[in-house]
Structure 1
């Protein structure tokens, strides 16, 4: 009774109780991963035999996929989990290194003999999955971080982090090597442990704060589930995460036992996916979709919204094409070295599909975006942190300065790309249409050499 009372109090602060958006079609889901987009289609991967998924064109109407990720299980699973029954738990997907990587867990209920594996495919719409093996594993110890419930996200600096864990040793986080899909660093324990009822982590970032969502209580009990979701925050991805609050209570109308948050950044909006047990349908597990905004440094969730643009662009991989020349924003592949740091100048060049012409755009939640080059994983940067017209544009290791934060303004399919440092837009020098022409920042002129189309690739 105490928990239900507290949940209702917290509900008033964190969740809008108005009528929910209506989802239609095939809604069944349990431990859904982050909703991921490939071209014009959204994908929702979820726990199931072989890794089950559904697709949507509009986030509201869902259709089952034609088949699971795995028709034949990776061979290593039998050695790790001899009695594996075929249900892959809590998959999560992210695009990097020219592929979609899907992280999944294999285990048995109540055991910490577990592993997180990864597979990749160049496309979700036309998949061809290749399994890459184990990312991290646990061996049955009572204090180990249980290798289940993987969640991946891209930070403002372009780095990818994996969080995971469950009962036993709590929650851990590690950086991912984007060339291999495996760990790039050791695992840092960030929360929980001692057998506490904490699992299904998800980290997202807004402004200066990282937010760690975790499930508390017990899942997989239908109408008797005691799951609820807490959120803590930190100024570092590795914690400490403090000031914990309830984000979603155990019950809200028909929504019982919410589980496994993921955050899709789409058209400037933050959409949160979870599962819930439907009290109006015998406790069947279904997909839930909420919209998240931030107030006073904390997330607020609502089911009362319509799917529409929030006045921004979607996180994803893009090419940028100058209107006057039809040539793309490119990082020069001829390296120079200044003070021991690699500097590649920005130029325009005929698009060839190489990764030095592709950019990850990351919404920082402040009105500004990171632009991370897909080839180097370095940031688009006003060289020398200069606020003056004519300053060179280059790439530089991300350090979070205003010269690495960008705003997109425009209409009719073309944008000014403006520096937070100077307020000046990207400009192709002297209106040149030649390959190799430099890109600088310059006073706004309204000319076509300052206008860029954005085409989302993934």
Structure 2
């Protein structure tokens, strides 16, 4: 959100958060209903059967839904207080948090939030975490990155989190002043794992609210140009550029969402949830039919000729023929045991075996959608990829972990069997993950084998 318009946004959101409770549903792609107010919405995140939507507001405000359509049951992360470190980092902070974003890393959800004051680049992005969103116990971890009021600094607001095909997590952020930056995040601490690199904008251009996603071989950087926070007079519009590296350069800038479309004015602040093979995109907009009130919008994004396109031409959340990104336990239908990294070792080449589930991270896997019909499976403990040993195409070839390098032996197709049961097929060999010798023992080896339809080649995907 443009820093010099925050006062207007504060006044609008403080009234809107309470006045919209119990309002009738709005005209949008999904006819969203309930409490639909939103400004700078986070990426939607799901805990069990409930979606969470965080947004600009006092105490880090959020709402909940079980269908992504009807929103309610609001709350805040910090209530009326805030972490004490903010008082020194941003003198004059009044409890109104900007532009949160959230991501699941390991056994926690990490919430990133912005603190600043009107007209200043003295700002900070902080992070808090909880193991559960439905029954939260928030622990604030302090600042992630700060800016100190410099005229050309990357302003430390508008964080957005993204998991790459190799499981690494990156945070982009920035607003006007020095443009946009990106840095890698340590999934164990939620803090920076690399230095910040400038990727776009600067020189006080009207560029802010970045979000990065990947589809196939390209990274896509979404951002807004123009001024927000002026209701029906907002000049916001969403742009996109692309690169072959997460660190840029991002080129080919084009307009993705114009300033006006129907009753929607000034769309901004992209977030993307990859669900059932679909890309659902969240933004806010100012409703021309409701005196410019800021509201949540959800559209579907597709990729055509290497570039994203947006559509409101759908009226329900449905499957696009794929699987949702997230953290999973993979349980053998044959033995009931979990797929794990043997001995929780982090070395390249360590075998993948089955074992009684004990809720440890080496038994959990990130499913990352490549947008091409294939997925990577990244172990949550070692951050290494499920891999066909030595790129073999033979029956009985061992399945191990290896540093991700993007080869076909690290890309997998998921073949639906029934319910949440799938076959996991190598993109290299067209063979299936298999419990060797129909073993039911702890430590039974996982190999690849020609498909035979047996339960030892079928896996329950259990969302964690």
Same fold (TM over 0.5): yes
Alpha-carbon distance in 2 for matches of 1:271, 1:335 = 36
Q: 1:34, CA displacement in angstroms?
A: 0.2
Name the SS of the counterpart of 1:430 in structure 2: helix
CA RMSD between the two structures: 1.2
Does 1:409 find its partner at 2:393?
no
CA deviation digits over 1:65-92, x for unaligned, max 9?
A: 2444444200011111121121100000
The 5 A counterparts of 1:49-60 are 49-60=58-69
Q: Which of 404, 428, 453 is the matching residue for 1:446?
A: 453
Aligned match of 1:248: 257
Gaps of 5+ in 1: 1-17
Alpha-carbon distance in 2 for matches of 1:136, 1:70 = 23
TM-score by length of 2: 0.92
Alpha-carbon distance in 2 for matches of 1:433, 1:301 = 48
Q: 1:382, CA displacement in angstroms?
A: 0.4
CA 1:326–1:75 in 2, change beyond 3 Å: closer, same or farther? same
Does 1:304 find its partner at 2:313?
yes
Aligned match of 2:292: 283
The 5 A counterparts of 1:390-401 are 390-401=396-407
The worse-fitting range, judged by mean Cα deviation, of 444-453 and 18-27 is 18-27
The worse-fitting range, judged by mean Cα deviation, of 77-86 and 143-152 is 77-86
Q: 1:334, CA displacement in angstroms?
A: 6.3
Alpha-carbon distance in 2 for matches of 1:193, 1:204 = 21
Aligned match of 2:91: 82
Q: 1:415, CA displacement in angstroms?
A: 1.0
Aligned match of 2:163: 154
Name the SS of the counterpart of 1:274 in structure 2: strand
Q: 1:20, CA displacement in angstroms?
A: 2.8
Answer whether contact 2:384 2:403 (CA < 8 A) is retained: yes
Q: Which of 324, 329, 337 is the matching residue for 1:319?
A: 329
Moved over 4 A (4+): none
Aligned match of 2:13: none
Aligned match of 1:345: 351
CA deviation digits over 1:87-127, x for unaligned, max 9?
A: 10000000103100000110012211100000000011111
Name the SS of the counterpart of 2:319 in structure 1: coil
CA deviation digits over 1:293-332, x for unaligned, max 9?
A: 1000000101111210111110001011111111111110
Aligned match of 2:21: none
Q: Which of 273, 276, 281 is the matching residue for 1:264?
A: 273
CA 1:193–1:70 in 2, change beyond 3 Å: closer, same or farther? same
CA 1:356–1:168 in 2, change beyond 3 Å: closer, same or farther? same
Aligned match of 2:14: none
Aligned match of 1:115: 124
Answer whether contact 2:80 2:95 (CA < 8 A) is retained: no
TM-score by length of 1: 0.93
Alpha-carbon distance in 2 for matches of 1:269, 1:191 = 27
The 5 A counterparts of 1:19-418 are 20-305=29-314, 306-333=316-343, 335=345, 342-413=348-419, 414-418=421-425
Name the SS of the counterpart of 1:135 in structure 2: strand
